[in-house]
Structures are given as C-alpha cells and as structure tokens.
Amino acid sequence: MRLNYPVGIRIVKLPCTGRVAVIHLLKALEKGADGVFVAGCMEGDCRYQAGNLRAKKRVAYVRQLLQSIGMEPERVAMYNLSSGEGPRFAEISREMAEKVRQFGPNPVKGKGVRKEKAA
C-alpha cells in the first residue's frame, strides 16, 4: 500500500500506547512539535488489556494542562484504529495536520526558555 501522509510527521513506535507517559507528550510539544497524536488500538482490543485506555487518560490530562497554560488542548489527541487500517492512519494524519495548521505553529518553538541540568 502506498499511502500519502503529511511529510512533517515523525512517527515514534512503541509496543503499546500504554507506554506513553504524560512527559512524552509534553516533551514533544516543548521541543517544538506543532501537535502530537497517539494512535492506539481499538478500545477493547488492547493486547495488554488496558494500555490504550491508560493512554486516553494521559492524553486527557495533558489537554487539561495545556488549557491551563494557555495552549490549544487539541494540539494533543488520541485516535483508535487497528493495525490493519493503513488508509485510516493516513487519513488521521492529514486530519491532525490540518487541525494543527489552523492553530498555527507551536508558540513554544524557538523561544528562549532555558533549562540547565541541575543534579
């Protein structure tokens, strides 16, 4: 299957979306990603039982946090699809890219927020 999805997307592969922690989503944004989506298996189909449900809660938590710091919560999203749905993946990627484009670039990008390693 040769499917087109937006070129700017970077895919991070994980064995299960249950591995996605809050900090991973935040770091992606802090480092300049315009948006992040988590592509999990269909609800009820998790090989590890509830990994995708955990990811869903973490996505919800990050959305709330983004709201509190004045960023668009929709820059982070959770989608559920099965591994056989390549066309759906491409469609979601385009949908997400389009949504994020409307918000404009991530305002954090290239800002002078500094961090030094302490301890």
Provide the binding-site residues for another protein, judged by CB under 8 A: 21-23, 26-27, 29-30, 65, 68-71, 107-108, 111-119
Torsion sign over Cα 23, 27, 30, 33 = negative
Provide the minimum distance between the beta carbon of 11 and another protein in the complex, in angstroms, as a whole number.
22
Assigned token pair, 101: 């484009």
Query: 26 CB contacts (<8 Å, ≥6 apart)?
Result: 62, 65
If the CB atoms of residues 30 and 74 are measured against another protein, the closer one turns out to be: 30
Query: 41 CB contacts (<8 Å, ≥6 apart)?
Result: 17, 47, 51, 52, 80, 81, 82, 83
If the CB atoms of residues 30 and 85 are measured against another protein, the closer one turns out to be: 30
Provide the minimum distance between the beta carbon of 10 and another protein in the complex, in angstroms, as a whole number.
18
Provide the minimum distance between the beta carbon of 22 and another protein in the complex, in angstroms, as a whole number.
5
If the CB atoms of residues 87 and 105 are measured against another protein, the closer one turns out to be: 105
Instruction: Give strand pairing partners of 76.
Output: 36
Provide the minimum distance between the beta carbon of 89 and another protein in the complex, in angstroms, as a whole number.
28
Distance CA 68, CA 81 (A): 29
